[in-house]
Structure 1
Amino acid sequence: MTRLQHLRPGLGSYAAAYLAFLYLPVLFLPVFSFNAGTIVAFPLTGFTFQWYEKLAEADALLGALGNSLIVGLATAVISTAIGLFAARAFARHSFFGRGPAEGLVMLPLVIPGIIVASSMLVLFINMGLQPSLLTIIAGHVFLALPFAVSILKSSFDQFDGSLEEAAYDLGETVVGTFRRVTLPVVAPGIVSSFLVTFTVSFDEFVLAFFLAGNEPTLPVYIWSQIRFPAKLPNTLALGTLLILGSILLLLAAEYFRRRAERSSASR
C-alpha cells in the first residue's frame, strides 16, 4: 500500500499530461473560431461571431450536413436493430461457433479503415453500385455494428432471464414477451447504442471519403475546405459546433447506459 501511495502522484501527473496532449489542441479550436482575423495564430486580432453567422449562408455546407444526418440516422437505426438481436443471441444462447461469431462482429474495430474503405469500394463497383449515400450507409453499418453489439450485450448480460420465463408461464407469446418485458428493460441500452452509433457515423471520414461520390458528408466537406486558408475560419466555427454536439450526444449515451445499469441492479 505504501508503494502505491508513492506512485500515486506520478500516475496523476502522467494522466494529466496524457489528457493535455490529447485535448489541448481541441481546446484551441473554439478560441480561434471567435478570432476576427483569418490567420490561425496568436495574438488574436479581435472577437467576432461573423464566422458562425456565415455558416447559415453556405449552401454546400448545409447540404453536406443534411447528408450526414441522413447517413447517421440510417446507420444508427440499422446497426442498433441488428445489434439488438445479435446481442441477445450472444448473451442468452449457447450455440456452436458463438465465440468466433462474436470475434467476427468485433473485427471492424481492428481492421484499418482505409483497407475496409478500399475493399468496399471495389465490392460495390463490381456489384454495379455507384458511390452514393446508400454505399456510405452500408459501410457505416459495418463500422458501427461492433459498438451496438457491445453496448446491447452489456444490457442483456445484466437482464434477469427469469422475467421472460415468468411471462411465458403466464401465457404470453414470444413476441409479446419480447415487446412487453425485454424491450422496456433494455430500452436505455437501445437509446445508448443509437446515440453512440449515430456519433460514430456522423464523425467518420475515411469510409465516407471513398464511398461518397457526388454526395459528400460533413467530414468530407470539412476536409475539402481546410485546403483554402480563406475558408478556414468557417471550418473552425463548424468544428466547434460539431465538438459540442458530439459531447452532448456522448453524455446522453453515457447517461442512458448508467441508467440501464442501475435499473438492472435494482431488479
Structure 2
Amino acid sequence: MARDDVLITVEALAGLDEVDLLDVRWRLGDADGAGRERYLAGHIPGARFLDLESVLTSHGEPTDGRHPLPDVDTLEEGLGALGVSGDRLVVVYDEAGSFAASRAWWVLRWAGLNVRVLDGGLGAWTAQGRPLAEGEAQVTPVDLLLTVGHLPTITADEAAAFDGTLMDARAPERFRGETEPLDPVAGHIPGAVNVPVSQFFAEGGRLPDDEVLRGLLDRTGPLAAYCGSGVSAAQLVLAGAALDRSIALYPGSWSAWSNDPSRPVATGEH
C-alpha cells in the first residue's frame, strides 16, 4: 500500500460518481448516540452514519478489552444495512484529529473492503465551503458477504514475546503509569515503547507527510501497535500502510492486558 491507497482528498471525493460514504464520528466518553446526533445535524451529502460501538466492535468479557473486534456476522449485517456492497470504493471520515475513521479503515480493510480515509475529515470538507446535508441519508440495504483476517493482528501472548518493536500509542503519562483514567491498572506492556498517536496528526487532523512518518516509524524489524482498546492504535497502522510498512495490531490492547492479573506490568519510561 501507499498513501493514495489509504487516504483520499476532498477534491477527489467530490469528483467520485459512485462511492459508499460513511460518517463514523465518535469520541471516547461520548454519551450514547452523540455521534449520530452530530451526523444528523450536518454531514457530507450522501454519507450514512456508521456506529463504531455497535458495528465496528463486539462486547464480551473485560479480558477481551473495551473494543474487541466485531465478528463477521455483525460486520455483514451492519455494513449491509448501510448499503455497502463491496463493489464500490468505501470512504470513511470523522472529525479532524479523531481516530474513529482510522478504526473504521482498519476494520473494513481487515474485512477485505476497498476503503480510504478522508484526509482531514469533515473539517477539510467544510473548510472549502462545501455543503452539508441534514437528517438521514437515503440507503438501500444489501446482502454482504465478507471474510476477515486481511490485516495482521497479534494476541496478548504474542505481544508479550514480540520480536520487534511493540508501540504503545497512548499518552506518555498513561504509558509511564502516572495515571490511568479508564482501565484497572496503570502502566504498559513490558518491552513496549511509547509512540503517542498525537504525533500522527498534522494541522487540520491530516496525516503528516511521508518524511515525518518515516521518522516516527524509523525502527528495524517487525512492528506492532496497541493503545487503550484498539481504536487509536489503528492510526499508527494506517500511517505504516501509507509508507507500505506493515504494522500488526493488538486489538485487545491495554484494556485487555490490564484486566488479566497474570500479565506483568511495567511503569516508567521503559
Q: Quick check: which one's strand share is greater?
A: 2
Instruction: Identify the structure with bigger relative contact order (alpha carbons < 8 Å, sequence gap 6+).
Output: 1
Larger radius of gyration: 1
The structure whose residues are more often helix, as a share, is 1
State the TM-score, normalized to the length of structure 1. 0.27
